[in-house]
Chain A
Amino acid sequence: MSRVDVRQQLLERNPFLSSASPEPWDNNFPDLTGLNKDVGDHIFTLLRGTREGMRGTMAGLVLGEAGSGKTHMLKRVLDSMQEMGEGALFASIRAFLNPTSVFQDLRRGIFVNLKRKRREHRSQIDFLGEAVKARFHQDLVEGRVPSYYQDSLQLWFQEEYPDVDPRFLRLFYTYMDVKDSRLLGVMQGDISDDDFPGNPDLKIDDFESRDAAQEAEAQRAVLSLGMLLDYAKMPLIICFDQLDAMSDEGLIQAWGRVSAELINNVYGVLPLAFLRSDKWNAFSAVLDNAVKDRYQNNLMVLRSCTLEESWQLLEGRLRLYYEDDYEEKMEWLRTQLEAKLAVGDYAPRHVIEMANRAILQPLHPVRRPGPEDDREEILRAFAGVWSEERDKVAAEPGLWPPNLDDLSCALELWLTARSDCSSVVRTGQRFRVLEAECLQGAERVLCSFAFCATRHNSPARAALNAGLKFLNEDPMGRICYYVTEASVLPALPQWPKVHELLSEFRNQGGRVVVLDEETRVCWYALLALRNRIEAGDVRLYLSEESRLAVREDLMLFLRERFEGELLPFEGGKVEPPPLTDLPVDPFLTEDWPRLHEAICSLLTQAPMRMMKADFLLERLRNQDFKILHAGLLAYVKGQEECFRLWPCENGSLIQMV
Chain B
Amino acid sequence: MDERFNVELEQLLQDRGRDFLSLSGVCKVMPSALRARLGLKSNSRVGEVQKALQPHMGRNLEIRKAGRSLCLVRRGEKDEMLLRSVQARPGKSPKTLRNSLPFTAAEFLRLTNSLLKEGRLRVELNARCEPLLFAVSPEGPPTLQPQPLALAPVPDAEAEKAVLRAAFQELEQGRIFVRICDLRRRLGWSREAFDSALARLRRERTVQLHSGDVSAMTQEELQDSFVDENGFRMLSLTWTEAR
On whether the two chains bind one another, the answer is: yes
Residues of A within 8 A of B (CB): 63, 65-68, 244, 276-279, 281-282, 289, 299, 301, 303-304, 306, 340, 342-347, 350, 354, 536, 539, 541, 544-548, 550-552
Contacts of B9-67 to chain A: CB distance below 8 A: none
- Segment of B151-159, B163-171, B200-208 engaged in the interface with chain A: B200-208
Complex: how many Å from CA A19 to CA B3? Answer: 60
Give chain A nearest CB distance to B239 CB in angstroms. Answer: 11
29 contacts between A and B (CB under 8 A): A65-B177, A66-B211, A66-B212, A66-B213, A67-B211, A276-B213, A277-B175, A277-B176, A277-B210, A277-B236, A278-B216, A278-B236, A279-B213, A281-B175, A282-B216, A299-B176, A301-B176, A304-B208, A340-B229, A342-B203, A343-B228, A343-B230, A344-B208, A345-B205, A536-B213, A545-B233, A546-B231, A546-B233, A548-B211
Contact of B230 among A303, A354, A550 (CB under 8 A): A354
**What residues on A are CB-neighbors of B202 within 8 Å?**
343-345
**What residues on B are CB-neighbors of A282 within 8 Å?**
216
Tell me if B209 counts as interface (CB < 8 A to partner A). Answer: yes
Q: How many residues of B contact A (CB 8 A)?
A: 30
**What residues on B are CB-neighbors of A67 within 8 Å?**
211
Are A306 and B229 within 8 A (Cβ)?
A: no
**What residues on A are CB-neighbors of B93 within 8 Å?**
none
Q: Considering the complex, give the chain A residue whose CB is closest to the CB of B125.
A: A289
Known: A278-B179, A306-B205, A347-B211. 20 other contacts (CB 8 A): A63-B176, A67-B211, A276-B212, A277-B176, A299-B176, A303-B238, A304-B210, A340-B230, A343-B228, A344-B199, A344-B203, A345-B202, A345-B205, A345-B240, A346-B232, A544-B227, A545-B231, A545-B232, A548-B211, A550-B214
Are A345 and B233 within 8 A (Cβ)?
A: no
Tell me if B215 counts as interface (CB < 8 A to partner A). Answer: yes
Complex: how many Å from CA A545 to CA B226? Answer: 10
Tell me if B106 counts as interface (CB < 8 A to partner A). Answer: no
Are A303 and B208 within 8 A (Cβ)?
A: yes
Main SS at interface, chain A: mixed
Given contacts A277-B176, A545-B233, A546-B231, contact A344 B205 (CB under 8 A): yes
Tell me if B127 counts as interface (CB < 8 A to partner A). Answer: yes
Give chain B nearest CB distance to A544 CB in angstroms. Answer: 8
Are B215 and A551 within 8 A (Cβ)?
A: yes
Complex: how many Å from CA A401 to CA B203? Answer: 47
Given contacts A344-B203, A345-B202, contact A68 B210 (CB under 8 A): yes
**What residues on A are CB-neighbors of B177 within 8 Å?**
63, 65, 277-278
Give chain A nearest CB distance to B129 CB in angstroms. Answer: 12
Most buried by B among A63, A289, A301, A548: A548
Q: Considering the complex, give the chain A residue whose CB is closest to the CB of B240.
A: A303
**What residues on B are CB-neighbors of A536 within 8 Å?**
211-213
Complex: how many Å from CA A552 to CA B215? Answer: 9
Are A550 and B215 within 8 A (Cβ)?
A: yes
**What residues on B are CB-neighbors of A347 within 8 Å?**
210-211
Are B216 and A301 within 8 A (Cβ)?
A: no
Complex: how many Å from CA A350 to CA B230? Answer: 10
Give chain B nearest CB distance to A277 CB in angstroms. Answer: 4
**What residues on B are CB-neighbors of A545 within 8 Å?**
227, 231-233
Complex: how many Å from CA A566 to CA B191? Answer: 48
Most buried by A among B208, B209, B243: B208
Are A343 and B240 within 8 A (Cβ)?
A: no
Q: Considering the complex, give the chain A residue whose CB is closest to the CB of B127.
A: A289
Give chain B nearest CB distance to A345 CB in angstroms. Answer: 5
**What residues on A are CB-neighbors of B214 within 8 Å?**
547-548, 550
Give chain B nearest CB distance to A176 CB in angstroms. Answer: 45
**What residues on B are CB-neighbors of A346 within 8 Å?**
232
Q: Considering the complex, give the chain A residue whose CB is closest to the CB of B210.
A: A65
Give chain A nearest CB distance to B234 CB in angstroms. Answer: 9
Are A344 and B175 within 8 A (Cβ)?
A: no
**What residues on B are CB-neighbors of A65 within 8 Å?**
177, 210-212, 236
Are B238 and A343 within 8 A (Cβ)?
A: no
Q: Considering the complex, give the chain A residue whose CB is closest to the CB of B200.
A: A344
**What residues on B are CB-neighbors of A277 within 8 Å?**
175-177, 210, 212, 236
Are A343 and B203 within 8 A (Cβ)?
A: yes
**What residues on B are CB-neighbors of A551 within 8 Å?**
215
Given contacts A306-B205, A344-B203, A344-B205, contact A278 B231 (CB under 8 A): no
**What residues on A are CB-neighbors of B228 within 8 Å?**
343-344
Complex: how many Å from CA A276 to CA B238? Answer: 13
Are B209 and A344 within 8 A (Cβ)?
A: yes
**What residues on B are CB-neighbors of A278 within 8 Å?**
177, 179, 212-213, 216, 235-236
Complex: how many Å from CA A178 to CA B238? Answer: 54
**What residues on B are CB-neighbors of A539 within 8 Å?**
211
Complex: how many Å from CA A506 to CA B216? Answer: 45
Give chain B nearest CB distance to A351 CB in angstroms. Answer: 11
Give chain A nearest CB distance to B168 CB in angstroms. Answer: 14
Complex: how many Å from CA A544 to CA B233? Answer: 10
Give chain A nearest CB distance to B228 CB in angstroms. Answer: 6
**What residues on B are CB-neighbors of A354 within 8 Å?**
230
Q: Closest 3 CB pairs between A and B?
A: A344-B202, A65-B210, A277-B177
Complex: how many Å from CA A350 to CA B209? Answer: 11
**What residues on A are CB-neighbors of B179 within 8 Å?**
278
Most buried by B among A68, A299, A303, A346: A346
Give chain B nearest CB distance to A464 CB in angstroms. Answer: 39
Complex: how many Å from CA A344 to CA B236? Answer: 14
**What residues on A are CB-neighbors of B235 within 8 Å?**
278
**What residues on B are CB-neighbors of A546 within 8 Å?**
230-233
**What residues on B are CB-neighbors of A544 within 8 Å?**
227, 231
Give chain B nearest CB distance to A376 CB in angstroms. Answer: 17
Give chain A nearest CB distance to B49 CB in angstroms. Answer: 39
Q: Considering the complex, give the chain A residue whose CB is closest to the CB of B228.
A: A343
Most buried by B among A277, A301, A304: A277
Give chain A nearest CB distance to B114 CB in angstroms. Answer: 25
Give chain A nearest CB distance to B11 CB in angstroms. Answer: 30
Are B210 and A244 within 8 A (Cβ)?
A: no
Complex: how many Å from CA A651 to CA B236? Answer: 34
Give chain B nearest CB distance to A13 CB in angstroms. Answer: 25
Complex: how many Å from CA A547 to CA B227? Answer: 9
Are A301 and B215 within 8 A (Cβ)?
A: no
Complex: how many Å from CA A57 to CA B216? Answer: 33
Q: Considering the complex, give the chain A residue whose CB is closest to the CB of B134.
A: A285
Give chain A nearest CB distance to B233 CB in angstroms. Answer: 5
Are A547 and B213 within 8 A (Cβ)?
A: no
Give chain B nearest CB distance to A333 CB in angstroms. Answer: 15
Q: Considering the complex, give the chain A residue whose CB is closest to the CB of B176.
A: A301
Complex: how many Å from CA A546 to CA B215? Answer: 14
Give chain B nearest CB distance to A288 CB in angstroms. Answer: 13
Give chain B nearest CB distance to A537 CB in angstroms. Answer: 11
**What residues on B are CB-neighbors of A276 within 8 Å?**
212-213
Give chain A nearest CB distance to B201 CB in angstroms. Answer: 9
**What residues on A are CB-neighbors of B176 within 8 Å?**
63, 277, 299, 301
**What residues on A are CB-neighbors of B231 within 8 Å?**
541, 544-546
Q: Considering the complex, give the chain B residue whose CB is closest to the CB of A551.
A: B215
Q: Considering the complex, give the chain B residue whose CB is closest to the CB of A345.
A: B208
| Residue interface bits B82-116, CB-to-A below 8 A is 1, else 0 | 00000000000000000000000000000000000
**What residues on B are CB-neighbors of A299 within 8 Å?**
176
**What residues on A are CB-neighbors of B243 within 8 Å?**
303
Give chain B nearest CB distance to A19 CB in angstroms. Answer: 12
Most buried by A among B176, B209, B215, B233: B215
